[in-house]
Structures are given as structure tokens and as C-alpha cells.
């Protein structure tokens, strides 16, 4: 179980991780699955690292970043960066028990700071909205900025205390909170003659965002690592991002269960569709309500809820079953498969100008 972290402890740990990543300094063009990536330079910052990078498609065409495709070198800010990757021969063993099935799963991790950074950049480049061909690129022009933020806290709130849907759904207190070592399972279901609702919570420290910057896109990415149950396939079998507002930024408590919103902050992800094509990131593009919830001076707080839960429509499969969504958590020194918030932002016209280096 994850221990509670004081705010100062998170800042110190995230800053130390940023210093580790900054030791990479630069890399040559490196072929990945879908891109070639060149890291130009790295710089440690408070709670993370600043990374300047170029990217090319697999066919060798350089990607022009920015709203007009003129950016040669994109500036990435990574808050609370990962240091570990999943690896069969990893020396770090993490086991967790599925809350519903009680099945124990084990993953293995190893420290590989360079690979963790490349995985982080590769996925974030793939979901960036502002990327074009090379015809408008201005040599040496630097972007400002894509921010990649890994959570300062993620966990789940579990309620399974009644045979009545309304009692479980409307409860102000849940039975328990959990910080799984490697995974979270967002759920609505019926088990042992009782309804069960599990809500996920993700907090992201977005205080490094410039106060006056315009957010053009924001995407929460959650890594689905296992198959999904979908016993009540009635059109409300989906998951969606909503708000959360736990009493503390450092831990979850049972009284946080009802401190979630019922307004959809993103597109929905259909559980039936996502039963295939895993493991992979599932992306939730924040709508205007979701983007408005990003706190440029503090902590941005979100939840993940299943369709029946957010709509308050009783789960209809009254034999033991559930609709669940299994995702990786962000634990220990983190892996690039943890929850992440990717934000593209830029200064409003009279603000910060684009720079040139080299």
C-alpha cells in the first residue's frame, strides 16, 4: 500500500527524479516503434525536468510542432518523471491482489532512466494535436510548451455495503480506500448480493503551468493492462473522466467518496471496444469543462467513473458480475505506463515569445 506523502515530500522526490533524468543530457536520433526521437538537451527544474527534442516519422519526415508547424525543437516539461520500466528480468518485483477476483498478479520493473524518458516522449508525441509535416519548420525554433504530468496521488475508493443501489451510490462514506502497488480497477457491479462501486482518483500537480498560457489541448492517458469484464452491456458500459475534490492533496479518506462530479470532463471509453487491443494507453481528451478544471497554480483533481455510476442508473446484472476497467497505477519511482496528463499550451499573443537555440 502506498504511504501518504506530505506535500514537501512529493516536491523533494519529484525534484530528485528530475535531476536523475537531466543527467541524460542528450541522445542521437533513436528509432522507436512509430517515431525517431532526438533529445537535444535536458535541464532539471523544480518537481521535474525540461526536455528539448526533435521528432521524425518512421519514413524520415521531420515533425513540425506548434499551431503552424514551424517549431523545430519542442520543449517538454515533465513533472514527477518516471525512472522505471516494465521488464521481464527486472529486479523490482511488485505484487497486488485484485479487489474483486482476489487474483494475485506480479510485475517486474527495472531502473532505466533513458528508456523511461523515451517511452514518455514517444506516447506524448503520438497524442499531440499540434504536429505537422516539415514544410514550415524554422531551423532552431523552440516550442513553448508541452507539459507531461504524472500524478502526485492516485488511488481508488471502494463501496460495497448494501443490496440497495441508492445506498451504495449515494453514500457519503465508502468502505475503504486503496493504493494498489501496480494497478487500479474502476468498477460498477454486483457481488455477494451487494452492489459495488469503485471510483478512481488522480491528482496532478499543474502549478508549473504559466498562469496566462492558453491551453489548446489536454489529454489524460490511462494504461489498460488487462482484459475487462463487461457483464452489463447496455450502452452505459463505459468509463469517463469527471472531477474530484478529496479533503487532502496527500491521501484519500473514506469521506472523499462523494466528492466527485457527475459532469463528463472527457470523451467516454466503451468497455466493449477496449476489451481488445490491450495492453495500451487509452486516451481521454478533456472537453472545455475538463480543461477549465486544470489549476495552473496548484493541484488539478480528476476522477474516473463507470457509466452507471456517473449517470446514477442502477447496475442491471443482478447475478454476480461487474463492469471494470483495469489500469496501471503510478507507484514507487513510477513507470511510463502510469496515469499521465499531457497539456499543450502557449502564451497568449502579447506574452512569452518563441525562442531559437543553436
Cα separation, 192 vs 301, in Å, equals 32
Q: Check residue 104 and give its pLDDT.
A: 81
Of residues 4 and 140, the one with the higher pLDDT is 140
The rounded Cα 204 to chain-centroid distance in angstroms is: 9
Q: Check residue 113 and give its pLDDT.
A: 97
- Tell me the mean pLDDT in the region 71-98: 92
- Tell me the mean pLDDT in the region 9-26: 96
Q: Check residue 105 and give its pLDDT.
A: 79
pLDDT-derived band at 8 (thresholds 50, 70, 90) equals low
8 Å CB contact between 324 and 223: no
State pLDDT tens for residues 86-124.
Answer: 998 899 888 777 777 777 878 899 999 999 999 999 999
How many angstroms separate the first and last alpha carbons of the chain? 47
Reading the block at residue 159, the C-alpha cell is 463501496
Reading the block at residue 91, the C-alpha cell is 529486479
Reading the block at residue 261, the C-alpha cell is 462530479
Rounded to the nearest integer, the mean pLDDT of the chain is: 92
State pLDDT tens for residues 143-187.
Answer: 988 999 999 999 999 999 999 999 999 999 999 999 876 789 999
State pLDDT tens for residues 288-328.
Answer: 999 999 999 999 999 999 999 999 999 998 788 999 999 99
In the predicted model, is pLDDT for residue 6 greater than 60?
no
Of residues 332 and 24, the one with the higher pLDDT is 24
User: pTM of the predicted model, to two decimals?
Assistant: 0.93
8 Å CB contact between 188 and 315: yes
Amino acid at each position: 500500500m502506498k504511504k501518504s506523502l506530505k506535500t514537501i515530500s512529493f516536491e523533494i522526490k519529484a525534484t530528485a527524479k528530475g535531476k536523475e533524468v537531466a543527467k541524460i543530457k542528450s541522445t542521437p536520433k533513436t528509432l522507436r516503434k512509430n517515431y525517431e526521437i532526438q533529445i537535444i538537451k535536458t535541464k532539471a527544474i523544480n518537481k521535474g525536468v525540461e526536455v528539448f527534442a526533435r521528432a521524425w516519422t518512421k519514413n524520415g519526415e521531420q515533425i513540425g510542432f506548434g499551431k503552424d508547424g514551424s517549431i523545430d525543437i519542442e520543449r517538454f516539461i515533465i513533472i514527477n518523471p518516471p525512472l522505471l520500466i516494465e521488464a521481464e528480468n527486472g529486479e523490482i518485483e511488485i505484487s497486488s491482489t485484485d479487489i474483486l477476483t482476489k487474483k494475485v498478479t506480479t510485475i517486474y520493473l527495472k531502473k532505466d532512466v533513458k528508456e523511461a524518458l523515451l517511452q514518455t516522449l514517444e506516447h506524448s508525441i503520438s497524442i499531440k494535436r499540434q504536429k505537422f509535416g516539415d514544410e514550415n519548420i524554422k531551423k532552431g525554433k523552440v516550442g513553448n510548451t508541452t507539459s507531461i504530468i504524472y500524478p502526485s496521488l492516485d488511488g481508488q475508493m471502494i463501496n460495497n455495503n448494501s443490496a440497495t443501489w441508492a445506498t451504495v451510490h449515494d453514500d457519503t462514506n465508502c468502505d475503504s480506500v486503496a493504493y494498489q502497488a501496480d494497478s487500479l480497477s474502476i468498477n460498477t457491479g454486483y457481488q455477494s448480493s451487494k452492489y459495488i462501486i469503485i471510483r478512481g482518483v488522480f491528482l496532478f500537480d499543474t502549478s508549473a503551468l504559466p498562469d496566462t498560457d492558453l491551453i489548446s489541448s489536454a489529454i489524460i492517458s490511462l494504461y489498460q493492462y488487462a482484459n475487462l469484464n463487461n457483464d452489463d452491456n447496455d450502452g452505459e458500459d463505459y468509463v469517463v473522466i469527471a472531477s474530484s475534490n478529496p479533503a487532502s492533496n496527500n491521501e484519500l479518506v473514506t469521506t472523499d467518496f462523494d466528492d466527485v462530479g457527475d459532469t463528463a470532463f472527457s470523451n467516454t471509453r466503451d468497455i466493449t471496444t477496449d476489451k481488445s487491443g490491450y495492453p495500451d494507453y487509452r486516451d481521454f481528451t478533456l472537453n472545455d469543462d475538463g480543461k477549465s478544471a486544470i489549476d495552473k497554480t496548484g493541484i488539478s483533481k480528476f476522477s474516473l467513473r463507470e457509466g452507471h455510476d456517473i449517470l446514477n442508473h442502477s447496475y442491471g446484472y443482478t447475478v454476480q458480475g461487474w463492469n471494470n476497467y483495469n489500469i496501471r497505477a503510478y507507484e514507487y519511482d513510477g513507470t511510463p505506463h502510469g496515469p499521465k496528463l499531457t497539456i499543450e499550451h502557449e502564451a497568449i499573443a502579447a506574452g512569452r515569445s518563441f525562442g531559437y537555440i543553436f
